[in-house]
Amino acid sequence: MQKNKINNKGFSLLEASIVMGVVSIGVLGVFSLVLQNIQAQKVSKNILVASMLAQEGLELARNIRDDNWIANPVVDWDSYIKGWADDDFSVDYTMTFKDANGIGDAKAELYKDSANNFYTHTTTGGNTKTMYSRLIDVTGVDASDPFDGIIDYYKVKSHVQWRDGDVLKDYIAETYLYNWR
Cβ-contact 92, 120 below 8 angstroms:
yes
Distances (CA, A) of 133 to 99, 104, 158, 178: 14, 7, 10, 27
> Rg of the chain's alpha carbons, rounded to an integer?
29
Alpha helices in the chain (DSSP H): 13-71
The pLDDT profile of the chain, 181 residues, written as one tens digit per residue, is 556 666 666 668 888 889 899 999 999 999 999 999 998 999 899 999 999 999 999 998 888 888 777 777 666 777 777 777 777 888 888 887 788 877 777 788 899 988 888 998 888 777 899 999 999 988 888 877 767 777 788 899 999 999 888 899 999 999 998 877 6
User: Which residue type, as a one-letter code, is found at position 147?
Assistant: F
pTM: predicted TM-score of the whole model, two decimal places = 0.76
